[in-house]
Structures are given as C-alpha cells and as structure tokens.
A and B are shown apart, each in its own frame.
Chain A
Amino acid sequence: KAGVTQTPRYLIKTRGQQVTLSCSPISGHRSVSWYQQTPGQGLQFLFEYFSETQRNKGNFPGRFSGRQFSNSRSEMNVSTLELGDSALYLCASTGTASSMNTEAFFGQGTRLTVV
C-alpha cells in the first residue's frame, strides 16, 4: 500500500512569507503528527491530529498551525517565516488512536529553506 506522502519535497521561501505543507497519511490511518527536524534542535513535536481534532500541541509559537480534513489528509501552515524555520518537516501517520502499540509511518519530509 502507498506510504505517507508529503508535498512538496522542497520549498524555498522568503522571510515574512507564509507556507503550507501537505501530508497524506496511509489509507485508513486517522492520526497524523508533525515534527520539525533541525541540526540544532533535533526532532521536535509540532502537533497531532486525530479525526480532524488537534489532540496535542508542542511548544511552538502561534505562527505554526495545522488542520486535518475529513479524509485524514493534513496541512500545516507557517506564517511570517523566519530564517530559523528552515528545517525538514516530517509527518507521521498511525492507524489507531495511540502509537504505543502500533507503528508510526513517516513520510520523506518537506525540506523548507527560508532565505
């Protein structure tokens, strides 16, 4: 079956702009999580959605937001981009309400560069 699909793979944006990233989970999966990966901070949790509801949010400013649609596809948005937002953004999907006993599948990520 198809894996987690993130689009686009690469993005270059200018400071002050906004950006929207997309994640299509594995068919049938209802939970989608987003992570930011940077060389300095490593992998940090952004937010998690289950059945269109945000259940959990990491410690990021309000410029970072997300949503999930009825087909479980998710988008995250970053407004007023800063240089420090340059990162690899990873999306993960799981088939159940909890990742404890199931596998979380990660996409290949979107590489965002802010110039």
Chain B
Amino acid sequence: GDSVTQMEGPVTLSEEAFLTINCTYTATGYPSLFWYVQYPGEGLQLLLKATKADDKGSNKGFEATYRKETTSFHLEKGSVQVSDSAVYFCALIDNYGQNFVFGPGTRLSVLP
C-alpha cells in the first residue's frame, strides 16, 4: 500500500537557521502531497500542498517541490523562527482523495 517516510527527529535548530525535513513516498498512481503542522495541544493545520509533479507548494516561508523522479517532497525554510517549533507531518492522498497517509512526523525545536 501507499506509505510516507520522513526523518523523525527531533530536529533542534537555532533561530534563523536553514531547515530541511526530508520526505519520500511510495504510491501507485499520482498522489497529491501535503505538509501539515501540529502545534502543542492542537489539531493539524495544512502548511502547503502540491497536486502534480514539479509543482511547488509554499506558505509562510516554507517550500516543498513535488519530485516524481525521486518520489520526494522535502520541506525547506530559509530562516526558522522560535514560533516554527512544532511537529511536521508529510502526507499523501491517493487518486480517490478519500484518506491521507501520513509520515511519522518530525518534531522541530527552534532555540532563540
């Protein structure tokens, strides 16, 4: 079945450092890809998405590009802030769009 793999962390960075969280997937067909973020005590919030190969999703300084050839969707941010501390989930949804398959999540801590 479909699956998502991502670095589990935790990842600890200093403020203004560069962030990369790797995500790779296995899926039949052409899934849509997502990054969700979960702040403490909260549900999931959509950070960005891409629905086809070579699409770049971006939001709040975060970016990720759908790479079909490497089945990857790595999350990047040029300069992280303390407020970015959260758990980040990479996810895909299949062609039928009925349920997400999530990666294990990566906990990010940003120190001032």
Contacts and interface: CB of A to CB of B under 8 A. Distances in A.
Question: Are A and B bound to each other?
Answer: yes
Give the interface size bracket for A toward B: 20 to 34
Contacts, number: 61
Nearest to A91: B43
Contacts of A75: none
B73 interface: no
B104 A42 contact: yes
Chain B interface: which size bin? 20 to 34
Interface stretch (A14-22, A61-69, A77-85, A105-113): A105-113
A4 B43 contact: yes
B32 A101 contact: yes
B98 A42 contact: no
B102 A43 contact: yes
Nearest to A88: B43
Given A43-B89, A90-B43, A101 B100 contact: no
B87 to A, nearest CB: 10
A98 B98 contact: yes
Contacts of A31: 98
9 interchain residue pairs of minimum CB distance: A98-B97, A106-B43, A100-B97, A43-B102, A106-B44, A45-B99, A56-B98, A100-B32, A42-B104
17 contacts: A33-B98, A33-B99, A42-B105, A45-B101, A48-B98, A55-B98, A56-B98, A56-B99, A92-B44, A99-B32, A100-B97, A101-B97, A104-B100, A106-B45, A108-B41, A108-B42, A109-B43
